[in-house]
Copies of this chain bind each other. A is one copy, B any other.
């Protein structure tokens, strides 16, 4: 599959955009006209730069408001077109996108429109150029891809074909199965966009909210499947108008884009295998990736800190014990049950403690790393001694290091043998009530949220749950859980809105990250922790009055919850009891007890937590 991307998807100058596309590995680009108009580089210079970068210039776009007009306007439009054909010749380009007329069309007659397309085809042929005619979803007389194809058929000109755009087809609810009936040689170009399921006017939806395939709500694997069956072999291109991408780093966006296409190709291949059988063959080749099953658990979580003392104290109070020190580095391993926390003292000076890495148990780390790398994940450079286990790691969009670790049936981890038992190793302070890591909550920069979701879904095979919104005192937090079907791995990604104009909290301190531990008796653990002097996040009394009104809890339970700063929730399955520790740097811990298959995360309690943490940032 040849990959392409429209320059309008990316931030920056045309020169910066082309460099980013090449760096991300695209085969070609669509030149969005405005990017060229505002560029100080001549068409010949752009042509040379693209050649140097190994990018083909696939489509010049858009040309607008051509067909369905009177003779006088037609003459003007042909004049406009010829000027662009000359320009395209300087660029060395041979394919132009023509959008169906949205503004100036006055004649709603297919024969007329087709005849005018034919005239344009004649003119284009003189310049060796072909025209890809596309139905815009809001076209005045033509807004349906099958209608556009009928006009192309009527025009009956070798230089006039169609361009298919998933946005314009799926946003209107047209059935993409019709694509299979279009003669492949008449499909001159294909543009893909995904979009969240919004009910808003199509133009605004299209201009601001498009996202890369896999980041929205549409089944683009099926869409692409229809195209593959049609026999099309040309470029599959991305055309995404998105306000956030316009502001973000163009290389990141281009990599995100490329990942989305690679993943879409794989999903389409799987879809076609399932529907057409393993023996079906198509002219378009779809590269596939090493398949990986879902991870089976968290292997470890690593917290970096310049000063590790507070973290050690907190973990000790939760019943963790230091089980080892790394032989060569200032790194400690703290465990309880199958929960492993690495405290890494190699943090840069003045850096607050922060979650630095997560290890996931996978069936085949080398295969999983290979898949991630093929999905353009950046490998984490790791220095290891000769006798150390080589761990596979890639960097997530929020810079968290993702380690792909060998899962074992008994939940042990081979790398722990690199940690010698410390001379001062204490026995655990009491009962081991924590069994494993229940979930991890990572704050995401809002401009990379979609990228993060796609990253974890495509590389780690985690699935997104429906997202929720949580009010905090400094903004609305969007929370998106990525998880395995069995719940063994649950990762909550929170968009942290920018903290503006508020003295006191920074984005980091207002939205700390956390690791939640699963426990079989949170009340007993909380009592133990109280005895060990744990600083709990203080929950306001008003919360408990409301809890009582909502759930009619037994007075003794309510009193215990309030005494221990425990929070409570209930779903159709069971109950959820949990507490939070104080925050150290940008990290805190949570301990949760799921009773009778409760499957949530205490979402109604999240605002209480955020408000309490906000208060602490104000107090210093």
Binding site for B on A (CB under 8 A): 11-13, 16, 33-34, 36-43, 76, 79-80, 83-84, 87, 198-201, 204, 207-208, 243, 246-249, 252, 447, 469, 471-476, 497-502, 538, 540-543, 545-546, 548-550, 552, 607-608, 610-612, 614-615, 618
Contact = CB atoms under 8 A, between A and B. Distances in A.
A468 to B, nearest CB: 12
Contact of A538 (B40, B204, B548, B615): B40
B249 A502 contact: yes
Contacts of A474: 11-12, 246-247
B37 A608 contact: yes
A607 B38 contact: yes
A62 B22 CA distance: 54
Nearest to A84: B549
Given A11-B473, A474-B11, A542 B39 contact: yes
Interface centre among A13, A37, A497, A548, by most chain B C-beta atoms within 10 angstroms, is A37
B79 A552 contact: yes
Contacts of A543: 37-38
9 contacts: A11-B474, A36-B542, A38-B540, A38-B612, A40-B540, A198-B204, A246-B476, A247-B497, A249-B500
Contact of A549 (B83, B447, B472): B83
B475 A243 contact: yes
A39 B500 contact: no
Nearest to A32: B471
Majority secondary structure of chain A interface residues (helix, strand, loop or mixed): helix
B243 A476 contact: yes
Contacts of A447: 500-501
A542 B42 contact: yes
Contact of A502 (B11, B43, B84): B11
Contacts of A42: 541-542
Q: How many copies does the complex hold?
A: 2
A501 B37 contact: no
A243 B612 CA distance: 20
A85 to B, nearest CB: 10
A500 B247 contact: yes
Interface centre among A40, A43, A447, A497, by most chain B C-beta atoms within 10 angstroms, is A40
Given A83-B548, A84-B549, A549-B79, A246 B199 contact: no
Contact of A497 (B34, B76, B243): B243
A34 B607 contact: yes
B37 A542 contact: yes
B13 A615 contact: yes
Contacts of A84: 549
A210 to B, nearest CB: 13
Contacts of A550: 80
Given A501-B249, A549-B80, A614-B13, A37 B540 contact: yes
Contacts of A38: 473, 540, 542-543, 607-608, 610-612
A548 B502 CA distance: 51
Top 5 nearest A-B pairs by Cβ distance?
Answer: A38-B611, A83-B549, A249-B501, A200-B200, A247-B475
A57 to B, nearest CB: 15
A140 to B, nearest CB: 19
Contacts of A16: 473
A43 to B, nearest CB: 7
Contacts of A545: 83, 87
Contacts of A499: 247
A378 to B, nearest CB: 16
A501 B10 CA distance: 13
A198 B207 CA distance: 14
Nearest to A477: B246
A38 B39 CA distance: 53
Contacts of A246: 471-472, 474-476, 497
Nearest to A472: B246
A612 to B, nearest CB: 7
Contacts of A473: 11-13, 16, 38
A520 to B, nearest CB: 29
Given A198-B200, A546-B37, A247 B498 contact: yes
Contacts of A79: 549, 552
Contacts of A501: 247-249, 252, 447
